[in-house]
Structure 1
Amino acid sequence: MASNHKLVCARAARRQFGGAFQQAVRDYRGAKLSALTLARGLEERLPGGLSYLPLAFLYDGEVAQLSWEGSVAKANAEARARKTNFRVMARTRPLQPQEVEDKLYESVSSENGNNAIIVHDGRVHRDGRTIYAVHSRFCLDAVFNERADNQEVFQEAVQPLLSSALDGGRATVVFFGQTGTGKTYTARGALDIMSELVFEKADKVELCCYEMAGTRGGREAFFDLLAGEEKKQVKCLTGEDGNVHVRGAQKIVCNSTSELCSAMDKAFAWRSSECTERNEASSRSHCILEFKFPAEGDDSGEAAGLFRVVDLAGSERNFETQMHSRSMAERGGLINYSLLMLKECARVMHNNEKELENEMHVPFRSSRLTHLLRSSFTDGSHMTTVVATLSPSPTDVEHSLNTLQHVGMMRSSRVWETRPPPQEPKEGSDPKGFDAVQGRGRALHSKLQDARKGQLNLHAFQMKTAVGGSIMKKYEADSAKTETFIDARWHRELNVKVQDDLWVLRDADAEATQILSSWKAEQWAASKAHDLSRWSAETLQAFIQSLDLPGQVRIPTTMTGAQLRRLGRRGLAALCSDKATAEALDQALAGESQAGKAAAAAHRSANARMTALGNHKVHAAIEEFEEPAPATPGSNPSHVQQEPALAA
């Protein structure tokens, strides 16, 4: 429950302080644009490193460095896994109308030139006083932003696989992601385009469609979707050739585009779906479509080429399954487990390619899904593409990070694996890069970094075991404290890699922590902007000139707001040409005082919400505070800095 509380607090924080986090996203995108225009132009004329200085001067240091690496350095511009048979891509959907109506901002950015996705994670630190944003970059083989259409996705992700299958090979495309991010929409779009092109090279296509769903016994089984309402159970068996074949499923031979589309529509109509918190008709099964292209003159029924499309069920987090029944929870658990094993099989496969001596067994039998996709992990000629779909909503940041962490581990070449081993920074020196625990954002680390940094310090005791260890520390002569830790060398779930006792993050290729101290300063300035006692002589003169008074006011140019406040009504009337002018000026000053109280109340309210979220008290944070009284007309001069609006 503790982790769920932290998760809900992070989601509530992004709503409560949406204006501040949206400004952090603008800062990153502005730095990225500046790097493309200003710094990139200077890179050709100035020595290395000097063109980066203007960017570091204009923006936060970590944000400038991250945008520089993605816009100028472009370490992943030519994806190194492009020539391999296992590729990983990502597609971001646009904000939905309801999300736009709720004034949510985009928390995902795409770097098409660097084939990378940036996730902007807004958080409140546990001190209850600091809000910060973590910008995490994930390098993939190709990315598609919210403006990309299905045709673009098809050409990059599906066309090479289809061509390989038509030439007699085997290929698989997998659509992976959160519920409601457009997996089925992308899959159907690719299938529609494929159905128009496939008959240009093939005379006929043999279609077999089935789904993998949970049964009452808590197990997974395959059901034929072309059998209609009966949903006859079928079997997936390993043949003599080492590939997994479906036995017992109905097969339809299509000779035209209309016949193929009609058969696919029938299959999708019988796919299992249920109403969930996220989607009225959420897919609750893995749907697999197999297209076989018989060789010319071959009437034996065997296929020369196989093209498989896998539309996976959407992943869900614990906080989205509160209203699920027991059977729905069991099926959801099976879905999440099969997705986890899909990632694990791909990870072991890539590790085996890099470490030929200590080859590990690919655990494809751990799940029915990975058993079906066995050849994707064991056959080097089998072409596979994983397309992850993402939501740009800030309420789905945890989903986006989880999806990218999973597909990132499926990728063969990661940026951090090819970089030289990082050196532990010396005391007083500036560490470079964002992947080390002692990075520039070490004051505020996200996820497990705080714990990892503490574990790194414990390594000085030289007490490492396969499980972990315990250390006794004596703070006083009569008392002692025992601390227990886990060694990441033996526990992969920590998502870190150990190099020379330096813990390196594995969940992102680069990460920047941006502390939003400017927003805090703006909040404080807005609460003091209407305080007459803090006004300088110039501010007082600008305020008087902004008022529409019936007469004249003779205020000395050296008089400050504090001096004017001490005059009182009688002294104020002595500075005005008539009584009406004195009354109008007194009302304007009273309106400023009222606006100052309202701004101070709003500032205290924001601080209270921030403190509550830092202490994981969600109900106190989202509780409706009393709205401040509106300022009177004329009491809001243009020279006074206003408090930025917060997203509801």
Structure 2
Amino acid sequence: MASNHKLVCARAARRQFGGAFQQAVRDYRGAKLSALTLAKGLEERLPDGLSYLPLAFLYDEEVAQLSWEGSVARANAEARARQTNFRVMARTRPLQPQELEDKLYESISSERGNNAIVVHDGRVHRDGRTIYAVHSRFCLDAVFHERADNQEVFEEAVQPLLNASLEGGRATVVFFGQTGTGKTYTARGALDLMSERVFQKTDNVEMCCYEMAGTRGGREAFFDLLAGEEKRQVKCLTGEDGNVHVRGAQTIVCTSRTELCNAMDKAFLWRSSECTERNEASSRSHCILEFKFPGPDGESSGLFRVVDLAGSERNFETQMHSRSMAERGGLINYSLLMLKECARVMHNKQKDLEGPEMHVPFRSSRLTHLLRSSFTDDSHMTTVVATLSPSPTDVEHSLNTLQHVGMMRSARAWEKWSAAFQEAPEAPVTASAGFDAVQGRGRALHSKLQDARKGQLNLHAFQMKTAVGGSIMKKYEAQSAKTETFIDARWHRELNVKVQDDLWVLRDADAEATQILSSWKAEQWAASKVHDLSRWSAETLQAFLRTLDLPGEVRIPSTMTGAQLRRLGRRGLAALCSDAETAEALALALAGESQAGKAAAAAHRSTNIRMTALGNHKVHAAIEPFEPEIEPEAVDASTHAHAQHEPALATAAA
């Protein structure tokens, strides 16, 4: 795991060079739009693969291929139609007013036709001179973009589960994600729509609501939210039917939508929340609402459960937390981790029916114990809705959330490719094969282990080839020895790790593309030279003269360059002007350009200094204000000339 200062540097890089990373996002989206246009008009007329060539010529090769696979091939397009009782979805919230005021860009793109989310991770390389972006695609069962409303989320994620519960089944919808991404907002919107629909099919609903929160001593307990300020503790016990039941919680029978909404408002009013570094009122407990519907015999038969999880927070965002807040945060993160682990083991168990019996560790957390039937009962329908923030400062959170829910999904693109590769390993990987053939970040600039040489990776653990692992004695000194126990990841598929060229790479995404922003560097260098008179061509000089409003006439030859004009001096300029007033105005304009050139060069040096500092993980040096040394000569003239002539000079230089 990257250390805190590296994550802080990554955030600072996205703020410092937001324009560059925003251009990378536009490149991906432009390539996606071009792929749709080219495929629609040329895919049926041209042979396979030829319609992709113009796209690869216009954009970065990896970005073009990633966009093509997400827009045209769309290997995950049938995810919505898959019949599975455990589905994973994601919803992206829009940028908040404060984020728009800070001029932040959207770091997440939605591929609705492919049911995938693409995260644009902008970074500064460790060499201090390279800026690059990693576009990571995560394939899910359904996605909702930032303009989707609660109605769309309800119909896709909640309505099928509600219908199954009304018919006597059991269903659970879980809202998962980072603090401040709209989990509670989405949950409340779904509950409001549910309260409207449910009374169209039934006359009464039994409701109970409780929360799972940390207590003193580092333990978790359940508390009844309908009990008001008392918050009586309740118990979750396993019944004879194998399901977990709540005992001691108050149950309210609602016969109208108004009663049901009032009961839910009361429950959310007493939910535990605290002011954190991420949110002024962050939920610090898992809130569970259970609705029971009457069956044909008058007794409760169907169960519909809504789980609004507490928001996850990273360690570097909990520096101001008290000890009790840190303990509760640790319990929250552990329960979220075990939720992912139980879903992952469940899917591995379903895929490998002939293998050894795998136990789902639902007793590892009280949350997973409560949701036991979601992992052990094939008839229990479950949907996980992950909420995401599009802010570039939350990229690490978005990646972490998508990695967790991606492991909860029953099938992933890289697993399909792995099975196909095992059947035909000699088949070549072509452009049309897509990025399913590229796993993890070990193949490109963003490798997690790129700082280590192969010789440093030649450890004892890599020399062992046992099916389980083992232990080995390491002697660091003649008088001491140390025994270490290890597990060889090459022999354990459940670790979700791939070993290639002695590199252990976690399978982060279903597809990735690394884009080095060399064009942005070239543009920055060109912008620093726009006002450099010695680099002006004859055409640029003539374009500059046409923008001036001089009192007299200037007779400068059409073949004279900026370097030649600079060597003339004030006396030579006066000889080319019709009068002294015109010569003085021209001299002031040239002095202003010279001053603007010094300011642009100083800004370019500042950018390079900040980039180098971020590459070396020196965030304080990167965010300190850089004051360029500019001579006070002709300050007023430089301000006027820079504002008046910069557009024309940039056009002429281009």
TM (norm. structure 2) is 0.90
Corresponding position of 2:445: 444
Return closer, same or farther for 1:417/1:501 CA change in 2, 3 Å cut-off.
farther
Aligned partners of 1:561 and 1:405: how far apart in 2?
Answer: 56
Q: Which secondary structure does the structure 2 equivalent of 1:89 belong to?
A: strand
| 1:296-330 Cα shifts (integer Å, max 9, x gaps) | 333xxx52110000000000001110110000000
Distance 1:109 1:536 in 2: 42
Quick check: 1:39–1:55 contact (8 Å CA) kept in 2? no
Give the secondary-structure state (helix, strand or coil) at the position aligned to 1:525: helix
Deviation at 1:417, TM superposition (A): 0.7
How far residue 518 of structure 1 moved from its aligned partner, in angstroms, is 0.7
SS of 1:222's partner is strand
1:312 partnered with 2:309: yes
1:38 Cα deviation after fit: 2.7
CA shift, 1:35, in A, is 1.1
Structure-2 change in CA distance of 1:272 and 1:287 (3 Å): same
Structure 1 counterpart of 2:381:
383
After superposition, residues 80-99 of structure 1 pair within 5 angstroms as 82-99=82-99
Q: Does 1:278 pair with 2:283?
A: no
1:417 aligns with 2:424: no
| Percent identical | 86
C-alpha separation between the residues in 2 aligned to 1:495 and 1:454? 24
1:54-101 per-residue CA deviation (whole Å, 9 max, x = no partner) reads: 111111111111111111111111117731000000000011111111
| Partner residue of 1:343 out of 340, 343, 359 | 340
Name the aligned partner's letter for residue 597 of structure 2: G
Distance 1:258 1:218 in 2: 39
Tell me the amino acid that sits aligned with residue 389 of structure 1: T
Alignment match, 2:647: 638
Look up the match of 2:294: 294
The CA distance in 2 between the partners of 1:129 and 1:372, in whole Å, is 51
Does structure 1 conserve the Cα–Cα contact (< 8 Å) formed by 2:440 and 2:507?
no
Distance 1:457 1:139, change over 3 A: farther
In structure 1, give the amino acid aligned to 2:253.
V
Distance of aligned partners of 1:455 and 1:63 in 2 relative to their CA distance in 1, 3 Å threshold: farther
- Conserved 8 A contact 1:81-1:411: no
How big is the shift at 1:531?
1.2
Q: AA paired with 1:278? A: R
Letter matched to residue 132 of structure 2: Y
Cα deviation, residue 632, structure 1: 2.5
Query: What's the counterpart of residue 18 of structure 1?
Result: 18
Q: Which residue of 2 aligns with 1:252?
A: 252
Partner of 1:538: 539
Please give the alpha-carbon distance, in whole angstroms, between the structure 2 residues aligned to 1:508 and 1:454.
28
Q: CA separation in 1, counterparts of 2:135 and 2:79?
A: 21
Query: Offset at 1:528?
Result: 1.4
In 2, Cα distance between the equivalents of 1:468 and 1:639?
70
What is aligned with 2:478? none
The answer on whether the counterparts of 1:535 and 1:562 sit within 8 Å (CA) in structure 2 is yes
State the superposition RMSD in angstroms: 3.1
Q: Is the 8 A contact 1:209 1:288 kept in 2?
A: yes
- 1:465-544 superposed matches below 5 A: 487-489=488-490, 495-498=496-499, 506-544=507-545
**Separation (CA, whole Å) in 2 of partners of 1:75 and 1:453:** 35
Provide the secondary structure at the position in 2 that maps to 1:212.
Answer: strand
Deviates more, 1:37-46 or 1:499-508: 499-508
| CA distance in 1 between partners of 2:181 and 2:489 (Å) | 33
Q: What is the total number of aligned residue pairs between the two structures?
A: 628
Change (3 A) 1:149 1:446: farther
Q: Contact 2:461/2:488 (CA < 8 Å) preserved in 1? A: no
Change (3 A) 1:535 1:114: same
Quote the offset at 1:537 in angstroms. 1.5
Letter in 1 for 2:360: V
Supply the distance in 2 between the matched residues of 1:452 and 1:308 (Cα, whole angstroms): 51
Which residue of the partner structure matches residue 75 of structure 2? 75
Q: How does 1:195-214 map to 2 (within 5 A)?
A: 195-214=195-214
CA deviation string 1:570-593 (max 9, x = no partner):
122111122112111111111111
Match of 2:119 in 1: 119
TM-score normalised by L of structure 1: 0.91
TM-aligned CA deviation for residue 551 of structure 1: 1.7
SS at match of 2:549: coil
- The residue type equivalent to 1:511 in the other structure is E
Contact 2:439 2:509 in 1 (8 A): no
Provide Cα deviations, 1:216-262, integer angstroms capped at 9, x if missing partner. 11101111111111111111111111111111111111111111111
Counterpart-to-counterpart distance in 2, 1:530 and 1:459 = 59
Distance 1:425 1:532 in 2: 59
Q: Is the 8 A contact 2:195 2:261 kept in 1?
A: yes
Cα distance in 2 between the residues matched to 1:367 and 1:69? 39
CA contact (8 A) 2:442 2:505 kept: no
Distance 1:491-1:5 versus aligned 2 partners, 3 A rule:
farther
Name the counterpart of 2:482. none
Correspondence 1:428-467 to 2 at 5 A:
434=435, 442-447=443-448, 463-464=464-465
> For the residues of structure 2 that align with 1:28 and 1:459, how far apart are their CA atoms?
42
Contact 2:125 2:132 in 1 (8 A): yes
Structure 1 unmatched ranges of 5 or more: 473-483, 643-648
- The question of whether the paired residues in 2 share the 8 Å contact of 1:452 and 1:503 is answered with no
Contact 1:437 1:503 in 2 (8 A): no
